[in-house]
Structure 1
């Protein structure tokens, strides 16, 4: 009976993990202004917040059968869905308050919103009177946020049977919400690539831009790089966390503890100066009973809240546009790129070019690692 149950749990987890991702981006050309000042960043931020709030409000009108049909699921954890919705509303309210600070410089999308109730009310009607200047943005933004919200609600509906980055399992986990307004952390996963590949080029590009990020490495790929030749200055000036020995769910893997031990030992031995005690779980999947072991290894789970989706059909530019739209929406967070794939660097280049004058900041990887 136990074996049958374990097999069933594994199949359910695999099915959720293997479900086709809804890769979605937003063409920033639909937005009529460049983000060439902090005030214009705030204008675009207020607009995206209201657009997503409208979609979130609409989703609350669905009853349980309708929500199941929309998400393509037979069963949903409605308790978690409601909790995630409540957290999203709180983030939207906080973000909108921050974005309102520049309303004296530019009053676009500044409404008399004094409470979360006001935000809900305004979100339901704001699209009716945005003015002709922003008309071409309204519907594409609505479509993007509808699909993006579905991503989040589907993960919430499966949680905690299938864990993901959509919710934390404890207050010790990090997901970007602990950052200050306008601050973003760059993170990279699934590397390193073979010698001379995309990881080398990306790390070098970051150094030239005087930026740093956290590279969450896979133990087996780091071992392969080490066997092929010296690591040298590959991660010089960067931070290195672990993602386990293989890119594999650590929620159902019997040897998950050994995976963390081996990868941690490899990084500490080869990259002691760059090592930070953070674990990025593949797929965001980790065990609810794993915190004691993580504590014994002096590790903390580091999730993300802005996924570039650069591992699918999106072009590098579309991936960057998705990231920028979510940066405007959440106004802070942890961005996840995949340094083992070639789209990460051109996507990052586009992103830096289009935010250079926007007043945002990039969190230092060591400062983030020290946060409590």
Structure 2
């Protein structure tokens, strides 16, 4: 079975070749010729299994196929939803929701069957699981969009199989991890395309966007499925549309007692989340809501909170603590039935149990529960409404459906919500806190609604009321939703008539690599000009020609980096004017051969991009400062504000300090350290241009005779360029590079004067994010200015753990082992199952010759993530150094079994052979 594996990752190269369109599930592999029919495919997948294996595998495959088929029905139900019209959409929604919850039940059942299989210990269990993975990974009938239906199953399976320490189980664990990585990449591709198409929900929509590839996919599904037949199968026939005057109003239908959201004040939004609490996503959503000072209502399913015993008394489970946490954060929790049944079909005691049983559980959680109820699917009957009245519970519906239960693409969810809010002007939004895609879509929605002046309302015990919460700190905003990222990177060493330089080209190349490898700039959108290419015409042509015809949009960002000579001329008026020096410039003809700052200012004003940042590793003055950062409220919607900013290495008559580590200038070395994470002064995972300047400026001034300057250029409206730091997932090992001694020495000097990053906490309390820091820095006119760095955004424990780990890795590379140990320990306090931090903590002990302690932490990392091969290699070394030769041999052998051709394979074989 394992030999037949054909992973999802191998399919991604095909995915990337398609030109994609707007919509939900629009990225897929073309169907192969001669695809088998579904039942035959299922039978074929189990054909090579033995009789005992096939008996177990066949029903699992049938369940997986049913999962895909239901998802396809949901796709067909809501394909071309705008064209279908509101009547069809309203009738399709309850059917789609029913299909979704049937699938949720299938997922739970499939997870439970797989869990029982693993725990049962039958000999064929791993072969059965491998057969199921074969179907999910490589069945010819499946599109990539189909495979997203398996995400939750695979996550659960990965957790359960981690309890099996046998080598075949560890290999399967590794295989599942690879499949989940591939599915995440597929989702990112969807999301990237939607970002590019919709421009993050700004701009004209006069031209209808084409969606050929999505339509091709839907056309394939429609060959065997139709909306009409799906609805009919669920007892729904769409009638011919009635004229508007014939439609009954909500009040005429007796629904005036319910809350729909249309009665809210203008520009008021209620955020609601159904079906939780979830063991991880609810907490992530709470952290996001805190960032925006937004209250919410969580309608919870009673069976998630616990159960009722034979006497009807509530017995709470582990998830009840999450509900208590929601109340402590100021949110409301409401009733969403006991089992999420369709209550319009329930009567008598069964109906009462669904409503009153959950209310008992909620009151057992906390008496502060809110007396509000949401019918699953919005399906209610007169008896259910009567029970609510008797129990003094109020029905809360919605008028804005995110469709996050049907749409797997975060950007598509956000686009749908924002369009509906624009149409409605107010209302209650329906979300679900059981999906990762909701977590990803929520910041996009809240950022836009906040910028548009919408207020978020919470439940005050009797009604929904806008809650005046303290706004997040200035500039503590989410990444400003850039659609694409562009850069012009220039480095000149080989001047013809100016002194030659040693560092500039290396600096430019390092900046290009950082933008591409760390911050995700597409290589084709990073224009590089080195030496002979960096003529005056070449530099100006890069701006006026290459960028002008590149399709840059107003939601894009542009970074310009120049490393070379700069000069300052004194004009007859007494004003200074700065120039950057192209490779072909004549020192005697600066005014005509060089590029004046006035030209760069004109370029900055003419750019289409939302945010532009010029970083100039050259010294000159005469850079006109215009508007500064603005007020706190002004910076709050940074995602909308245009930003034109510049950071320079120094002023007139100052020489750029050469001789930094790795052949860089001191300025660029410091800049690269800032972008590596040190510039994240508040520890929130974002580096704004303001933070970067606040780190680089004082640090460079302290170790050189340069005084970097920072400010805004003409055309700026207070926007701040933002870098989002990616999570570092490096498992430290003997192959992890550390900085040379000169770099470590310089970094020590830089850190001694730079604004301090977040410090790890002591004792049992999580680290506290720092408050704003004030730094004195030169502005672009050479005058002192007070630069106020942003305070941190609230973060979830998972995010804080990742950032602590990343800081630990920085310390490790600088051989600061005590500081690294503290940060990795903090990461594990925040997230006890963090295998990455456990491994890294172990290697810190290893580097300090504490081999037994190191071995224990490598073992912990393996318990948390059994298929992480590098941890076995590390464990082998630690056991060998502590005298456990047999344990070392076992660890090295396991590494080779997982990665027979891995980077450490030759080393492990050498160790097994006795060196």
Bin the TM-score by the shorter chain: 0.5 to 0.7
Asked if 2 retains the 8 angstrom alpha-carbon contact of 1:23 and 1:309, the reply is no
Equivalent residue of 1:311, what SS? coil
Cα distance change, pair 268–23 in 1 and its aligned pair in 2 (3 A):
farther
Partner of 1:220: 303
Alignment partner of 1:267 is 2:362: yes
Partner of 2:344: 251
Partner of 2:259: 174
More displaced stretch, 342-351 vs 25-34:
25-34
Partner of 2:543: none
Asked if 2 retains the 8 angstrom alpha-carbon contact of 1:191 and 1:216, the reply is yes
Q: Distance in 2 between matches of 1:186 and 1:238?
A: 10
Asked if 2 retains the 8 angstrom alpha-carbon contact of 1:23 and 1:312, the reply is no
Asked if 1 retains the 8 angstrom alpha-carbon contact of 2:297 and 2:458, the reply is no
Partner of 2:444: 350
| CA deviation string 1:155-181 (max 9, x = no partner) | xxxxxxxxxx9x964210111111111
Partner of 1:278: 372
Cα distance change, pair 34–193 in 1 and its aligned pair in 2 (3 A):
closer
Q: Distance in 2 between matches of 1:214 and 1:84?
A: 35
Asked if 1 retains the 8 angstrom alpha-carbon contact of 2:404 and 2:413, the reply is yes
Displacement of 1:30? 6.0
Equivalent residue of 1:276, what SS? coil
Asked if 1 retains the 8 angstrom alpha-carbon contact of 2:458 and 2:464, the reply is no
Which structure's CA Rg is the greater one? 2
TM-score, scaled to structure 2: 0.24
Q: Distance in 1 between matches of 2:253 and 2:443?
A: 31
Q: Distance in 1 between matches of 2:342 and 2:228?
A: 27
Asked if 2 retains the 8 angstrom alpha-carbon contact of 1:277 and 1:298, the reply is yes
Partner of 1:149: none
Displacement of 1:316? 1.3
Displacement of 1:339? 0.3
Asked if 2 retains the 8 angstrom alpha-carbon contact of 1:239 and 1:365, the reply is yes
| CA deviation string 1:115-135 (max 9, x = no partner) | xxxxxxxxxxxxxxxxxxxxx
More displaced stretch, 320-329 vs 344-353:
344-353
Displacement of 1:353? 2.1
Displacement of 1:29? 6.2
Cα distance change, pair 176–309 in 1 and its aligned pair in 2 (3 A):
same
Displacement of 1:32? 7.5
Please show how residues 138-157 of structure 1 align to structure 2 within 5 Å: none
- Between the two structures, name the one with larger relative contact order (CA 8 Å, sep ≥ 6): 1
Please show how residues 1-372 of structure 1 align to structure 2 within 5 Å: 20=74, 21-22=77-78, 75-76=237-238, 82=244, 169-194=254-279, 197-223=280-306, 226-228=316-318, 231=321, 232-236=324-328, 237-254=330-347, 255-273=350-368, 275-366=369-460, 369=463
Q: List runs of 5+ in structure 2 lacking aligned partners.
A: 1-71, 83-193, 207-226, 308-314, 466-915
Displacement of 1:223? 1.3
Cα distance change, pair 288–184 in 1 and its aligned pair in 2 (3 A):
same
Asked if 1 retains the 8 angstrom alpha-carbon contact of 2:343 and 2:384, the reply is no
| CA deviation string 1:292-349 (max 9, x = no partner) | 2211100111111111111124311111111001001111111011002212221111
Cα distance change, pair 187–271 in 1 and its aligned pair in 2 (3 A):
same
After the TM superposition, which parts of structure 1 deviate over 4 Å for at least 4 consecutive aligned residues? Answer: 23-35, 68-87
Root-mean-square deviation (CA), in Å?
Answer: 3.8
Cα distance change, pair 84–336 in 1 and its aligned pair in 2 (3 A):
farther
